[in-house]
């Protein structure tokens, strides 16, 4: 429901780039997002949702390892604002997927599946 454009319009919900952040907040946010991504062992692309309280404390709400990537969605909008056009964003996601080699932990029930990437 919260992602419905009708619902968002009705209740005045909008998502946008943060404005008027305290000095150093952008770098702190970037570092927290990178650490969250790393600690959770994410790969490829992901979206880290954060909130900042009035005192400037930053909180991680969630890590979304498969965010909506439609052109009109927040993820694509953020990439565009960072200088990555939509087509280049999609190509980067595809390239990441093609280079990905999952860690296979052998057990009595699993068999490694060879990658065909690069053949």
Do 37 and 73 lie in one domain? The reply is no
Residue 72 is assigned to a structural domain of this protein: yes
Residue 94 is assigned to a structural domain of this protein: yes
**57-95: per-residue pLDDT in tens?**
999 999 999 999 999 888 999 999 999 999 999 999 999
Do 23 and 57 lie in one domain? The reply is yes
How many domains does the chain divide into?
A: 2
- What is the pLDDT at residue 57? 94
- Residue 48, classified by CB atoms within 10 Å of its CB into exposed (0-12), middle (13-18) or buried (19+), is buried
Do 22 and 55 lie in one domain? The reply is yes
- Residue 110 per-residue DSSP state: B
Nearest CA to 45 out of 4, 82, 76 is that of 76
Give yes or no for a contact between 115 and 100, defined as CB atoms under 8 angstroms apart. Answer: no
List the domain range (segments joined by +) for residue 40: 16-64
**pLDDT of 50 over the 60 cut:** yes
Do 41 and 72 lie in one domain? The reply is no
Residue 51 is assigned to a structural domain of this protein: yes
Residue 34 is assigned to a structural domain of this protein: yes
φ/ψ (deg, to 5) at 58: -105, 135
- What is the pLDDT at residue 11? 85
């Amino acid at each position: 429901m919260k992602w419905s454009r009708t619902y968002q319009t009705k209740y005045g919900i909008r998502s946008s780039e943060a404005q008027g952040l305290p000095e150093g907040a952008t770098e702190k946010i970037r570092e927290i997002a990178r650490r969250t991504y790393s600690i959770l062992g994410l790969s490829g692309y992901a979206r880290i949702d954060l909130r900042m309280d009035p005192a400037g404390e930053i909180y991680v709400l969630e890590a979304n390892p498969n965010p909506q990537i439609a052109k009109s969605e927040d993820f694509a909008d953020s990439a565009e604002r960072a200088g990555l056009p939509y087509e280049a964003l999609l190509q980067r996601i595809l390239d990441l997927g093609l280079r990905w080699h999952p860690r296979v932990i052998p057990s009595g029930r699993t068999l490694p599946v060879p990658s065909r990437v690069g053949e």
